[in-house]
């Protein structure tokens, strides 16, 4: 169920962003990736473990860097970053012990991330075709 909810919410938020026009601004998906990258830090704080927060900071910094690259250089970094975070969600429990992470979170977030990456890739591809540019 968490997987399906992640997919549906990613599509709803992506379509909402397109209809309202949020995604015309380069910062929209960069902000989404930055927030997604920070959530394991939130779970670490909720667990009460400073060590866990320090370990989670490795991923936080990596995804913040990718969000900046996506904002400054190319939104394709955001596609890659969202997809990479989906993979990160899958392996997270094998890399870190973070008792603050809800049991459903990796499946939910992973499906959200991959779906959001696919939606953004589709938007970028469609825009490229309509403008004839990269």
What ranges in 21-75 are assigned the alpha helix state H? 27-47, 50-72
Alpha carbons 12 and 29: distance in angstroms, whole number: 14
pLDDT(134) > 60: no
Calculate Rg over the CA atoms of the chain.
15
Q: For residue 129, what pLDDT band results from cuts at 50, 70 and 90?
A: confident
The pLDDT-based confidence of 128 (bands split at 50, 70, 90) is confident
Q: Which of 50, 63, 34 lies closest to 100, judged by CA?
A: 50
- Contact (Cβ atoms closer than 8 angstroms) between residue 29 and residue 7: no
pLDDT tens, position by position, 99-119:
999 999 999 999 999 999 999
Specify the pTM.
Answer: 0.92
- pLDDT beyond 60 at 81: yes
Domain spans, the chain = 2-131
pLDDT at 133: 58
pLDDT digits (tens, 9 = 90+) for 15-73: 999 999 999 889 999 999 999 999 999 999 999 999 999 999 999 999 999 999 999 99
Distance separating alpha carbons of residues 18 and 41, to the nearest angstrom: 29
């Amino acid at each position: 169920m968490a997987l399906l909810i992640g997919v549906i919410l990613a599509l709803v938020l992506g379509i909402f962003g397109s209809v309202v026009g949020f995604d015309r601004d380069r910062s929209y998906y960069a902000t989404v990736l930055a927030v997604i990258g920070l959530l394991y830090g939130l779970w670490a704080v909720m667990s009460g473990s400073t060590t866990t927060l320090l370990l989670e900071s490795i991923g936080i910094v990596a995804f913040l860097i990718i969000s900046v690259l996506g904002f400054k250089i190319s939104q394709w970094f955001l596609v890659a970053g969202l997809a990479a975070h989906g993979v990160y969600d899958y392996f997270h429990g094998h890399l870190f012990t973070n008792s603050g992470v809800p049991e459903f979170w990796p499946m939910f977030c992973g499906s959200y991330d991959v779906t959001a990456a696919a939606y953004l890739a589709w938007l970028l591809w469609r825009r490229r075709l309509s403008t004839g540019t990269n």
